[in-house]
Amino acid sequence: MSRVGQKPVEIPSGVTVTVNGSDVRVKGAKAELTMAMPSGVSATVEGAKVIVKIDDIEKGNLHGLTRTLIANMIEGVTKGYSKELEIQGVGFKAALQGQKLQMSLGFPKPVEYTVPDGIKIVVTEGTAIVVSGADKQQVGDVSARIRSYFPAEPYKGKGIRFKGEYVRRKVGKTVA
């Protein structure tokens, strides 16, 4: 049995958790999230706690994962998640136009990214992007996709990086 999976998940006030078979639905002030539990794992709501149990001992590796995913859903509908990105480079900038994020990254055409539902993007000063939403996995996925258009390169350091990310710089070639 998983040590993490044995801990019950506290349900704060203002959040409702319903378990219907293998579906878990969490509804809060910010959003409503659903998750399908893997087979062999079940959850029950007892008072102000969610208890995750394993039906099959071979599914023990999913015990702690399922409990953590439910805890992340509860935190997402109450506080939400956010990731910050920085754009560095001469002429590199971003702008939000409706549901599209347009980024000038040194390519002949600006790169466009369509923002999915449930995600909010804020661009400040043209070089700082904040991706926020209730689903932790979706926030991480969107920020990683935006970063993948031009990851920070090691020679000049230009590109898109997470805020606080360290990019190891390399020395370029020297002519003898």
Phi then psi dihedrals of residue 43, to 5 deg: -135, 150
pLDDT per residue as tens digits for the range 167-176: 889 988 888 7
Which contiguous run of DSSP H or E holds residue 6?
A: helix 3-6
Residue 22's pLDDT is what? 87
Percent of the chain with pLDDT over 90: 66
The amino acid at residue 17 is V
Distance of CA 75 to the CA centre of its chain: 12
The amino acid at residue 109 is K
The pLDDT confidence band at residue 59, using thresholds 50, 70 and 90, is low
Answer whether residue 1 shows pLDDT above 70.
no
d(CA 28, CA 13): 9
Residue 133's pLDDT is what? 94
Residue 5's pLDDT is what? 83
Phi then psi dihedrals of residue 75, to 5 deg: -65, -35
- Give the chain's end-to-end CA distance (angstroms, integer): 63
Percent of the chain with pLDDT over 70: 98
Buried b (16+ CB within 10 A) or exposed e, 66-93: bbbbbbbbbbbbbebbebebbbebeebe
Q: Collapsing DSSP states into helix, strand and coil, what is residue 11? A: coil
pLDDT per residue as tens digits for the range 150-169: 999 999 989 999 999 898 89
